[in-house]
């Protein structure tokens, strides 16, 4: 059973960089899914896809955050990561790592981590 676990700081100061890592267990990142991704959910609000990456390293970004976000993959560690620059309070959210298992990088999110709350505050 493939499992995803997010890790990273729960509190980030405004204007700084948010960095999260997703560790994959129960399978390897290079054989369990072609794509891996991040989705976030502000408290009490809806879901927003942020980015996805293929296990070969091809990234796909939401235009709403494209200028501030970087996604990367480390197959040797079975991890993929998200970096979001110049954060503001609007970036406060629960961040989920996910596996897109459908037709493309944004389709059929059938496996989710438990999520990690990141608060942007001084």
Partner 1 sequence: DIQMTQSPSSLSASVGDRVTITCRASQSISSSLNWYQQKPGKPPNLLIYGASGLQSGVPSRFSGSGSGTDFTLTISSLQPEDFATYYCQQSYGTPSFGPGTKVDIK
Binding of residue 38 to partner 1 (CB under 8 A)? no
**104 lies in the binding site for partner 1 (CB under 8 A):** yes
Kindly tell me which residue out of 30, 62, 70, 75 binds partner 1, with binding defined by CB under 8 A: 62
Confirm or reject binding of residue 23 to partner 1 (CB under 8 A).
no
What minimum distance in Å lies between the beta carbon of 13 and partner 1?
Answer: 26
Residue with tokens 């709403």: 64
Least distance from C-beta 82 to partner 1, angstroms? 15
SS3 sequence of the chain: CCEEEEECCCEECCCCCEEEEEEEECCCHHHHCCEEEEEEECCCCCCEEEEEEECCCCEEECCCCCCCEEEEEECCCCEEEEEECCCCHHHCEEEEEEEECCCCCCCCEEEECCCEEEEECC
| Options 17-25, 27-35, 71-79, 108-116: segment touching partner 1 (CB under 8 A) | 108-116
> For partner 1, which residue of 46, 67, 90, 121 counts as binding (CB under 8 A)?
46
Kindly state whether residue 114 participates in binding partner 1, applying the rule CB under 8 A.
Answer: yes
């Amino acid at each position: 059973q493939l499992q995803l676990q997010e890790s990273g700081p729960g509190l980030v100061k405004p204007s700084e960089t948010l960095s999260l890592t997703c560790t994959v267990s129960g399978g390897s990142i290079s054989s369990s899914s072609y794509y891996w991704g991040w989705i976030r959910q502000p408290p009490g609000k809806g879901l927003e896809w942020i980015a996805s990456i293929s296990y070969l390293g091809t990234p796909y970004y939401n235009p709403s955050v494209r200028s501030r976000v970087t996604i990367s993959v480390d197959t040797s560690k079975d991890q993929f990561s998200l970096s979001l620059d110049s954060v503001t309070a609007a970036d406060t959210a629960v961040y989920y790592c996910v596996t897109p298992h459908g037709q493309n990088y944004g389709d059929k999110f059938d496996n989710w981590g438990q999520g990690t709350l990141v608060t942007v505050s001084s």
